[in-house]
Chain A
Amino acid sequence: MTSLIDRLFGKSKTSANHAKERLHLVLIHDRTDLTPEDLQSLKNRLIAVISEFVEINAEDTEIQIEVEGREQTLIANIPLKSPRTRRS
């Protein structure tokens, strides 16, 4: 976790960096009313629904909330299975 944050900030982690990182996450959840557990179950259901239409790569599917100012966007990155890996 520490090394991830270090990479994010590109410097060694000070307590202020840690505070900012924690606040960033907590504000997303406060603003959207979505807990990390909610987000995980949203992801699971999304995978299930989309899989009914097209084959997707469930392991690499990512879902996250992006923050731009006070606007928040739900971003889903859902890789489709390539024709080669697709079962016929």
Chain B
Amino acid sequence: MNGTVITITSGKGGVGKTTATANLGIALASLGQKVVCIDADIGLRNLDVVMGLENRIVYDLVDAVEGRCRLSQAMIRDKRHPSLFLIPAAQSRDKTAIAPSDMVFLCNELRSEVDWIIIDSPAGIERGFRNAIAPANEVLVVTNPEVSAVRDADRIIGLIEAEEKGTAKLVINRLNPEKVKKGDMLSASDVVELLAIPLIGIVPEDEAVLVSINHGYPVVLNERSEAGKAFMNIGRRLLGEEVPWMELDSRKGLFNRIGKLFSGGN
């Protein structure tokens, strides 16, 4: 195997990096890929709870880097997909425990074992971001259709260009089609025009995401969720499939859902 390293980053915190990482990991695993997700946010471990794997952690990323365990011991197998693994962040250390060269070395070892390595970057543009970006073959920038998130995304895109990581691809998360229609939210095309990088996914705002995080059951596993479908579509696009853009008309979505209720759902 010659795995591809994808780093999920954003600049601004709270836009949905960890949610995107967990869901893309599951999407790719359910499409038959062998995947490892790495939580690179050392000191602020989070990906484990979003994936519902918090009770299984024995070793973490820093243990693996510092040689206290074998790499395979730090890889926690997912409950639902045997081809999906998590390497959790260390909780009692900070970002300086790891250098970009450690991440490159670690990912080079993992590349021969898995198809995809998905790195959840910490927010910010400091050491943690540098660690997360160093081994990347591809970078996905997550943003929300909102001024501060778009501005930070632009800054991060510039830094990714400067690191010669090629052109990042854009994930617009939490788009609310109703607010766009009312003129109270930037549209997907506004954001793409401003940031001027290729779009790989639009994830609609969906309360199922919050519920799924409460349960540690990523939303992509919920076939009726629009956000879940959007994450699955990104997974397919990563595999090179041409996936049509989802219809994001909120009213139509609502009528569809009501229609499904009456027809017993499907």
Contacts and interface: CB of A to CB of B under 8 A. Distances in A.
Interface residues of A, number: 16
Contacts of A14: 182-184
B53 interface: no
A27 B194 contact: yes
A85 B113 CA distance: 77
Given A15-B184, A16-B187, A23-B150, A30 B196 contact: no
A16 B193 CA distance: 14
A32 to B, nearest CB: 11
Interface in B147-169: 147, 150-151, 154-155, 157-158, 161
A24 interface: yes
Nearest to A14: B183
B157 A16 contact: no
Given A16-B180, A16-B186, A30 B154 contact: yes
B196 A69 contact: yes
Contacts of A24: 194
Nearest to A67: B196
Interface string A14-26: 1111011011101
A70 interface: yes
Contact of A70 (B183, B186, B190, B197): B197
A84 interface: no
A31 B154 CA distance: 8
A65 B122 CA distance: 33
Nearest to A13: B183
A30 to B, nearest CB: 6
B185 interface: yes
Contacts of A17: 183
A20 B185 contact: no
Interface in B178-217: 180, 182-187, 190, 194, 196-197
A56 B238 CA distance: 55
Nearest to A68: B196
Interface of A: 14-17, 19-20, 22-24, 26-27, 30-31, 67, 69-70
Given A19-B147, A70-B157, A70-B161, 17 more contacts: A14-B182, A15-B183, A15-B184, A16-B180, A16-B183, A17-B183, A19-B186, A20-B186, A23-B150, A23-B151, A23-B186, A23-B194, A24-B194, A26-B151, A27-B194, A67-B196, A70-B197
